[in-house]
Structure 1
Amino acid sequence: MHDDQVDVNADIVATLIHEQFPQWSGKAIRHLPSTGTVNAIFRIGNDLSARFPLRLTDAAEALAVLEQEAQASAELAQVSRFPVPEPVALGKPGAGYPMPWSVQTWLPGTVASDADPSGSTAFAEDLAAFITGLRNVDTRGRSFNGDNRGGVLTHHDEWMAECFGESKGLLDDVPRLRQLWSHFRELPRAGADVMSHGDLIPGNVLVEGDRLSGVLDTGGFGPADPALDLVSAWHLLQPGPRDVLRRALDCDDLEWERGKAWAFEQAMGLVWYYVETNPTMSRMGRRTLDRILDSMESMDSVE
């Protein structure tokens, strides 16, 4: 998926575990096919999973990121009313794999990209309860300090220009999409930072039946724009349940539009970047864009 991607397989993982965590060396190692774009995931026995960063980076820098993610995941596990993975250990480079890696608890369930809950109002209510629980956590004076989604919309102008250029011939009416970003980027902040998951997409959400059963990829838990977790409204929900989520979170028009803006920014990148290497993610981006465009057309017809 990436030009700088690092290969890792079950044999490498088994060697690393045997050398660094011999207490698990007898457990079965299974690679888990995933739509994820950041880590390769391997299951260790029935209760653990190992995450291996896919993009090559300096080992010391990667360790700092993994330590920060483990701390964030542990903090979220203490406050979430829904199950989330908990950090267990950090591994070192070895066996041909050049970076540190992490081990966490395994959660049962089906990812929402495989069991679509988008039409469920009960799922929307669960999602709202999860987001509310995070928002109620004290930021302890912390504020957004990342370079990804969750800060200032206009900081993404250069990336969006690249996305629009790469999307010519791939998406219909790119000029209309540029016009939408011109609208979105001007939306002012609606409030102070709140604690957020940061990436509520189908691949990071577990379902059982039509209910939320767990949330994955919790290493980004931290302070951000209060609208950031509203990307879930567009990535995960159809119009009816989407309205349920909005009412449950008591979103005003500005916060709702900024959530739509963050979902738009993410979806634009997914479509072209993963069109060949991760078609599922690319299709998700297209679906999210379609939902956003449909909502804008509905607003125009009302006006």
Structure 2
Amino acid sequence: MGRMHADEHAIDTTLVRRLVRGQFPRWADLPVTPLASGGTVNAVYRLGDDLTVRLPLTGGGAADIAKERRALSTLGELPVAVPAVVAVGEPAEGYPWAWAVHSWLDGAPALEGRAVRGLAEFVLALRANTAAGPPARRGQPLAGVDTATRRAIEELSRTDEPFDAEAALAVWAEALDAPQWTAPPCRLHGDLMPSNLLLRDGRLTGVLDWATAGVGDPAIDLIPAWNLLTAATRRAFRDAVAPDDATWARGRGRALSMAVIQLPYYRHTNAVISANARYVLAELGVLTRSR
């Protein structure tokens, strides 16, 4: 991974050890190990066998510490494990923001193109969760990201990616034209990327990164249909979740918007995110897979 953001704070194992030793001396002797991650908001380190340390990379991501803590504290019963916030650290040692210690969840991140059992069950269970929550940013009408999406499509069309801007605009127009969600807001995760989905033996057992959680249009939690599944498993996922045609179209639009914004920004700095963006765009039929 390269430096992803212009205002990214330098974080390394030594800094993490100093922060832990200074604020949580009971964990001072635990080994600290950096975790390979496609994440764009936090640097993540394993602390001993049972904990992880999450440090925001930028000031913009620092607010997510409190958002995620609130979201995790209000979740009802779910069919998968979610991390617990064990402690929250304060700025120190030259690091300017709050940071968090979470419980460790076993499991391997999902991989594009692999079948995932239990995904639809989780999405439906979360949607049925009646706990109150703030509006999810990605649960709002797609018109709010229209300008950014069109700008990203134009930018991507100027790169050497085998990208069909006209086809992308057609997918986007269909999503914008779809009727909006008018039912009561649903509980959402908002960022069901493969790296946030933990599997054991092909079954979903844990879901990470709840900073984008809230309530709103459930279309956002359909994005694994394109960022993870194949045509065959996508059909099964759709049948199990049973969204109406308009919600499915908005979900497809969300997947497109996220991918076209991510790819130009991360194509040289985050191999995991850029590869997933290419996977999404290929599944949507707007980018040719490399041979």
Task: Give the TM-score, by structure 2 length.
Answer: 0.91
Query: For 1:1-303, what aligned pairs fall within 5 Å after superposition?
Result: 1-57=4-60, 62=62, 65-76=64-75, 78-113=76-111, 116=112, 118-120=113-115, 123-124=116-117, 126-140=118-132, 142=133, 144=135, 146=137, 149-167=138-156, 168-169=158-159, 170-190=161-181, 191-293=183-285
CA distance in 2: counterparts of 1:216 and 1:289, whole angstroms: 24
For structure 2, the 5+ residue unaligned runs are: 287-291
Pick which of 167-176 and 16-25 moved more. 167-176
Are residues 289 and 143 of structure 1, via their aligned partners in 2, closer, same or farther at CA, if it must alter by over 3 Å?
A: same
Where in structure 1 do 4 or more consecutive aligned residues deviate above 6 Å? none
Aligned-pair CA distance for 1:65 = 3.7
Deviations 1:225-262 (A, max 9, x none): 11110011111111111111111112221111111111
Are residues 274 and 55 of structure 1, via their aligned partners in 2, closer, same or farther at CA, if it must alter by over 3 Å?
A: same
For structure 1, the 5+ residue unaligned runs are: 295-303
Is this contact kept in 2: 1:112–1:203, CA < 8 A?
yes
Q: Which has the higher contact order (CA 8 A, sep 6+)?
A: 2
CA distance in 2: counterparts of 1:108 and 1:143, whole angstroms: 29
Aligned-pair CA distance for 1:162 = 2.1
CA distance in 2: counterparts of 1:119 and 1:252, whole angstroms: 25
CA distance in 1: counterparts of 2:65 and 2:134, whole angstroms: 20
Are residues 291 and 188 of structure 1, via their aligned partners in 2, closer, same or farther at CA, if it must alter by over 3 Å?
A: same
How many pairs were matched up? 280
Deviations 1:37-93 (A, max 9, x none): 110001110001010001135xxx93x5422211202323x4222111111111011
Is this contact kept in 2: 1:80–1:130, CA < 8 A?
yes
The percentage of counterpart residues that share the same residue type is: 34
Deviations 1:192-238 (A, max 9, x none): 31001111111101111221121111232220211110011111111
Aligned-pair CA distance for 1:119 = 4.0
CA distance in 1: counterparts of 2:230 and 2:64, whole angstroms: 34
CA distance in 2: counterparts of 1:39 and 1:13, whole angstroms: 13
Is this contact kept in 2: 1:143–1:193, CA < 8 A?
no
What SS is found at the alignment partner of 1:79?
Answer: coil
Task: Give the TM-score, by structure 1 length.
Answer: 0.87
Query: What amino acid is the match of 2:179?
Result: P
- Root mean square deviation of aligned Cα: 1.8
